[in-house]
Amino acid sequence: MSGRTLRSALRRAQLTVALGAAGLCAGCMIVLGAFAWRTQAIEALPAATQWRLALGGIAGALICTTLGTLGALYLSRRLLRDITEPLHSLANVADAARREHRFERRVPHSEVDDLEQLGSDVNALLDELEHLSAHNQPEPYLQASLDILTGLPNRVFFEARLARNLSDKQPRRMAVLYIDADHFKAINDRHGHAAADEVLICLAGRVRTQLRENDLLARLGGDEFAVLLSPLNDSDDAWRIADNIIAALHAPLVLPNADSLHASISVGVALAPDHGQAATELLAAAADALHQAKRLGRGRWHQAEPTNLAV
C-alpha cells in the first residue's frame, strides 16, 4: 500500500500555509481598496493622483503578499526541519539497532518536547537491549564489560557509556554519582569475604531501586560504584537521588546466615558540564567530592567544585 511520506505531507501543509498567507494579504488590500472607492473619498483627487494611488495599492498588495508568502515559507520550513530531522535520526538509530545490533547508538536531543520524550523512550529501550546483549556475549566479553559478582556493568562499560554521552553533538545535562561503602574493610575483616560480597550485592540492589529508568549503575571495583544520571533536567534531581540512595541504606542489611548489620555510604556528585566535559574529568571530580564527603563525616553526599569559575 502506497501513501504519502511525512515530508510530503508537511510540504503540502507548508504550501497551504503560504498560499493562505498570500491570499489573506491580497484580500485585505482588496477590501481596503474597495472601501476607499465606495466612500468616494478618492474621487476628489486628480485623475493622475488616483492612478498613482491605484498603482501604489497594487504594488503594496504585491509586496505584502510576497512578504507574507516568504515569511510563511520560512516558518513552515523551520517547523519541517524541527520535526523531520529528529525523526530521521530516530529512524537511523532504530535501523542500526535492528540491522547491525548497534545498541550503543542513541537518539540525539530534540527541541520539540514530544519528540524529546519519544527519543528518551527509545534510548531507554536501547539501554536495556545493550545490557541484555552484553549478558548474551561470550565469556571473554562478559569479563571485559560486566561485574561478575553483582551482574552490573563494570568500569570499562561505564566509562565508555559516559564518554559516548558526553561526545554527542547535542550533549544533555547529566550527573555522575561516585559511591563508596563506609568502613567496608571493617565489615570484611569482621564478617568475612562471603558476607562482604553479600553486602555489596545488597548495596547494589538498594541503590538501583532509587534510580530512574534511564540511569546507569555500575560497579567500578571493590566497594566503589558509580551512577550516571542522564538526562538531567535539574541539578536538584541529582541531589534528591543522592539523598534517597543514602537513606536507602539506613535499614540494616540481612546476611544469608541471618545476621544483620548496618552499613552506610558516601557519595560524590559531579555535574556535566559544570564539573567536567570529558569522562575522566567528570569521574575525577566526582571522586574528589566523594573524598570530601568522607572527610566531613561519611554517610552523606558532597558536590564537586565547579571547574569553570570566572577568573
Active-site residues, by number, are 223
DSSP string across the chain:
-----HHHHHHHHHHHHHHHHHHHHHHHHHHHHHHHHHTT-GGGS-HHHHHHHHHHHHHHHHHHHHHHHHHHHHHHHHHHHHHHHHHHHHHHHHHHHHHH--TT--PPP-SSHHHHHHHHHHHHHHHHHHHHHHHTS-HHHHHHHB-TTT--B-HHHHHHHHHHHHTSSSPPPEEEEEEEETTHHHHHHHH-HHHHHHHHHHHHHHHHHTS-TT-EEEEEETTEEEEEE-S-S-HHHHHHHHHHHHHHTSSPEEPTTS-EE---EEEEEEEETTT-SSHHHHHHHHHHHHHHHHHTTSSSEEEPPPS----
Is residue 232 within 8 Å of residue 275, measured between CB atoms?
A: no
User: How far apart are the C-alpha atoms of 261 and 221, rounded to whole Å?
Assistant: 22
293, exposed or middle or buried, with CB in 10 Å at 0-12, 13-18, 19+? buried
Cis-peptide into 153, omega within 30 deg: no
